[in-house]
């Protein structure tokens, strides 16, 4: 049994350092005989235990946030999941998410595993997530990370933080901020599968042709016409599902390609990413 006197100031100091609850901090300090580093380790161990206990829980809520560097040439986007919408809207949870996003923006990790292994505070991102589990008491994970570099990158966060998108362009003409936001909103709303038809996965094309032929067959069309009909349906698929060929949601008389060309000759999208909670 510890004989060290734990003051309210000590408890508050540990709480400020870790974000854990007051009673958890007091118990951790008592167990560690007042040693702050050992107390932090105790709290981490508690977080790991909670993580194991909640491994079978569904983390279907959370937030998606995106942001870019000051020069607008790089952007990153992350998704952090939790179990309840209540936690997703918690200020501490949002603060930690924003800190992780900034870490990704500043350091440009190559992939999710590299981001999770990065140092933040006194540990790694993965350890930070365990700390959050111990503090909040829900299953929490960093599920997705995307990044884009281009001459100009625009990041868009949809209200509610359940959906975000970012898009890269081959130039940065006057008005690109507004134009880029409009295109990013298009991506968020319409979920294109590729920038142009050349970027569509071959298996997806084969599937669309097969579906188109089967639909035509069921409509009683001649067998010799099925391939041609399916190709026509494939073109419609391209128009509806590839970014540059989609109708612009703010002016359906234009495609996104025409909208960008009208902004600046030769302007086009070079890459995009989209993440939505539950998708």
The residue ranges of DSSP E strands in 111-190, in sequence order, are: 119-120, 123-124, 141-149, 152-157, 163-169
pLDDT at 1 over 50: no
The full set of domain ranges for the chain reads 8-53, 61-167+266-276
Lowest mean pLDDT among 35-39, 192-196, 243-247, 248-252: 35-39
What pLDDT, in 10s, does the model give residues 58-105? 778 999 999 999 999 999 999 999 999 999 998 889 999 999 999 999
Crossing angle of helices 36-53 and 22-31, rounded to 10°:
120
pLDDT at 113 over 50: yes
Residues 6+ apart with CB under 8 A from 148: 74, 75, 166, 167, 168, 271, 272, 273
State the average pLDDT over residues 179-193: 97
Residues 6+ apart with CB under 8 A from 226: 213, 216, 217
pLDDT band at 49 (very low <50, low <70, confident <90, very high): low
Whose CA is closest to 276, among 92, 59, 62?
A: 62
pLDDT band at 179 (very low <50, low <70, confident <90, very high): very high
DSSP string, 161-178: SSEEEEEEES---TTHHH
Lowest mean pLDDT among 48-52, 54-58, 206-210, 260-264: 48-52
pLDDT at site 55: 65
Crossing angle of helices 8-18 and 36-53, rounded to 10°:
50
Query: What CATH class has 8-53?
Result: mainly alpha
pLDDT at site 267: 98
**Percent share of the chain, pLDDT over 70:** 94
Residues 6+ apart with CB under 8 A from 268: 169, 170, 195, 244, 257, 260
pLDDT band at 144 (very low <50, low <70, confident <90, very high): very high
pLDDT at 221 over 70: yes
What pLDDT, in 10s, does the model give residues 223-248? 999 999 999 999 999 999 999 999 99
pLDDT band at 139 (very low <50, low <70, confident <90, very high): confident
pLDDT at 189 over 50: yes
Q: How far apart are CA 107 and CA 101, in angstroms?
A: 10
pLDDT at site 255: 98
State the average pLDDT over residues 35-58: 73
- DSSP H or E stretch at residue 42: helix 36-53
Q: Do 8-53 and 61-167+266-276 fold alike per CATH?
A: no
| Beta-carbon count within 10 A of 84 CB | 14
Rounded to the nearest integer, the mean pLDDT of the chain is 91
| Beta-carbon count within 10 A of 228 CB | 12
Query: In the CATH scheme, what is the code of domain 61-167+266-276?
Result: 3.30.479.20
Check residue 216 and give left, alpha or beta (phi > 0: left; psi -120 to 50: alpha). alpha
Quote the pTM value. 0.80
Residues 6+ apart with CB under 8 A from 49: none
State the average pLDDT over residues 110-121: 95
């Amino acid at each position: 049994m510890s004989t060290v006197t734990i003051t309210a100031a000590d408890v508050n100091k540990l709480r400020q350092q870790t974000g854990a609850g007051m009673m958890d901090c007091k118990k951790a300090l008592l167990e560690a005989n007042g040693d702050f580093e050992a107390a932090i380790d105790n709290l981490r161990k508690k977080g790991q235990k909670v993580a194991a206990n909640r491994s079978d829980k569904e983390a279907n809520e959370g937030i998606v946030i995106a942001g870019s560097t000051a020069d607008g040439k790089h952007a990153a986007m992350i998704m952090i999941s939790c179990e309840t919408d209540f936690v997703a809207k918690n200020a501490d949870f949002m603060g930690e998410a924003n800190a992780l996003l900034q870490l990704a923006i500043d350091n440009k990790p190559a992939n999710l595993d590299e981001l999770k292994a990065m140092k933040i505070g006194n540990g790694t991102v993965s350890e930070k997530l365990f700390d959050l589990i111990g503090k909040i008491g829900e299953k929490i994970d960093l599920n997705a990370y995307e990044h884009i570099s281009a001459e100009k990158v625009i990041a868009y966060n949809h209200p509610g933080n359940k959906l975000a998108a970012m898009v890269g362009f081959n130039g940065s003409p006057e008005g690109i901020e507004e134009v880029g936001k409009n295109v990013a909103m298009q991506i968020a709303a319409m979920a294109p599968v590729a920038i142009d038809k050349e970027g569509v996965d071959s298996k997806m094309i084969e599937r669309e042709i097969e579906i188109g032929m089967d639909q035509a067959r069921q409509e009683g069309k001649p067998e010799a016409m099925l391939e041609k009909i399916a190709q026509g349906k494939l073109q419609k698929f391209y128009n509806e599902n590839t970014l540059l060929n989609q109708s612009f949601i703010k002016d359906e008389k234009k495609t996104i390609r025409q909208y960008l060309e009208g902004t600046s000759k030769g302007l086009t999208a070079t890459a995009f990413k989209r993440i939505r909670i539950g998708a």
